[in-house]
Amino acid sequence: MSWPRYALATFVATLAAVGLPGCDGRPAQAPGPVRTPKESAEQASLVIMDTRGDVIIYTDTEAQGRLAYEAALARLKTIERLLNRYDPASELSAVNRAAGGPPVIVSRTTARAVIQARHLWQTTGGAFNPLVGSLVALWTQCEAERRLPTDEQIQSALLLLNMDEVEVAEGGAADGTSSCRLARAGMQLDLGGMAKGWAAQEAVAAIRRCEGVRAALVNLGGDGACWSEPGGGPRGTEEPGASRPPWRRPWRFGLQDPRTVSRKILAPLEATRGAVVTSGNTYRYYEIDGRRYSHVLNPRTGRPVENCIASATVVHPDGGTADGLATACMVLGTGKSIELLERLPGAEGLILELSEGRLLPCPTEGFEQYLPSRKLEF
Ligand code: ADP
Ligand code: MG
């Protein structure tokens, strides 16, 4: 082995729910500590977001690893505190409550998230719409009342979806503060469609600001962002034919079978840097009168999307973008999704269509690079 001088610090945390935007309100369950094979230097279990996740960091020393891990957790907790729209104390809730009124002073983090969400709205031609909050509230209420929304209710909610009526400034005021204002009363921001990918990306960025970091993965329930330092081995330590150290190997993600909640992996996906995010209806949906409806809503019709897409997986250098694009693909349908992804630099994707119980894979041209098997057969 060519890397004995590196103390290996791997931190694995299991994260559980309290509900970042998009949370389905299930009670939080803190799982017990998880032991990773061999290298585990420290374990933690904590409660954050509505999902189990892993944080793995390779650093030069154990102490550096611990600091980087703390930085990642702090970042995730901050994002959750600011952007969980189901928490009345969050900044996003304050912005939503003030809809139709004056601007609300927010953190730069919140302003940046809203700006990126608006950008995704533009990129996807409105298929990704962070103002779906009022529609989500309508469908959630109807699910509780076991009825479908009326046409009038849908029409009223559709009037609240214009992102041009959201004013957001990041450090834009004369005194450098950030602010956000929803111009129309009733408008509701819901960043659930990009939250996990965005949060994972922010956590990886926080890790990278720490010292001694060689590689990191933040995986939130299958949606994750990762980074590895460039190169084929620690400088000057390579021996001919020596195997690559773990932090120089690609990170592994799993392409999950959208037909089952068992988290069965159809194929491994590998990435060195960037984010891999999947959107689908496997875990979350509305159920009314025994019928399941997608939890992704079509901002044009105000109704849950109905098409043959079982899941959309997007790879992109940026986590928030990957997540937003994956949600948009569910709305756009296969043809337009592949067209959009092919057009965007750095984006690749795989749509899994479902027909009579069988999955039909529809990848972008470059998606194969993330498939170690180079095959899409299942
Ligand atoms: P998941 O939460 O399973 O990762 P998504 O990333 O696709 O799935 O996000 C779905 C969530 O995004 C919904 O629960 C809702 O809060 C929000 N949402 C629904 N439809 C849209 C849409 N068209 N654009 C943006 N966000 C949406
Ligand atoms: Mg998404």
* pLDDT tens digits along 133-163: 999 999 999 999 999 999 999 999 999 999 9
Q: What's residue 240's pLDDT?
A: 56
Query: Is the CB–ligand 1 distance for residue 134 below 6 Å?
Result: no
- Name which residue leads in pLDDT, 129 or 234: 129
Ligand 1 atom at shortest distance from the alpha carbon of 129: 24
Determine the pLDDT at residue 245: 73
Q: Is 200 in the pocket of ligand 1 (CB under 6 A)?
A: no
Average pLDDT of span 305-319: 97
Residue closest via CA to ligand 1's atom 14 equals: 22
More confident residue, 10 or 348: 348
Ligand 1: atom nearest CA of 223 is: 4
Nearest atom within ligand 1 for CA of residue 298? 23
- Domain ranges across the chain: 10-85+194-247, 91-182, 269-370
The answer to whether the beta carbons of residues 331 and 302 sit under 8 Å apart is no
Once rounded to an integer, what is the mean pLDDT over residues 331-338?
A: 98
From atom 8 of ligand 1, which residue's Cα is the shortest distance away?
279
C-beta of 136 in contact with ligand 1 (< 6 A):
yes
User: What is the C-alpha separation between 193 and 352, in angstroms, rounded?
Assistant: 19
Say yes or no: domain 91-182 is CATH 1.10.3980.10. yes
Tokens of 181: 């204002």
Ligand nearest to the CA of 223: 1
> What is the atom index within ligand 1 of the atom nearest the CA of 278?
4
Domain 269-370 belongs to what topology? T-fold (3.10.520)
Please tell me if the CB atom of residue 129 comes closer than 6 angstroms to any atom of ligand 1: yes
What atom of ligand 1 comes closest to residue 24's alpha carbon?
14
Residue 128 CA to ligand 2 centre (angstroms): 9
Using a 6 Å cutoff on CB, does residue 201 contact ligand 1? no
- Ligand 1 atom closest to Cα of 194? 6
**Ligand 2 mean position, distance from CA 284 (Å):** 12
In sequence order, the β-bridge partners of residue 213 are: 59
Burial group, residue 287, by CB count within 10 angstroms (0-12, 13-18, 19+) = exposed
pLDDT tens-place string over residues 13-30: 333 222 233 332 222 323
Q: Check: pTM over 0.75? Answer yes or no.
A: yes
- Alpha carbon distance 336, 334 (integer Å): 6
Burial 120-130 (b: 16+ CB within 10 A, else e): bbebbebbbbb
279 lines ligand 1 (CB under 6 A): yes
Q: Is the CB of 128 under 6 A from ligand 1?
A: yes
Strands 309-316, 348-355: pairing kind: antiparallel
- Ligand 1 pocket member 256 (CB < 6 A): no
pLDDT at 241 over 90: no
Band of the pLDDT at 261, cuts 50, 70, 90? confident
Round the average pLDDT of the chain to a whole number and report it.
85
Ligand with minimal distance to 321 CA:
2
Evaluate: CB of 189 within 6 angstroms of ligand 1: no
Please report, rounded to a whole number, the percentage of residues in the chain having pLDDT higher than 90.
Answer: 69
**Proportion of the chain above pLDDT 70, given as a percent:** 84
pLDDT tens-place string over residues 35-81: 232 343 334 444 456 777 788 888 888 888 889 999 999 999 999 99
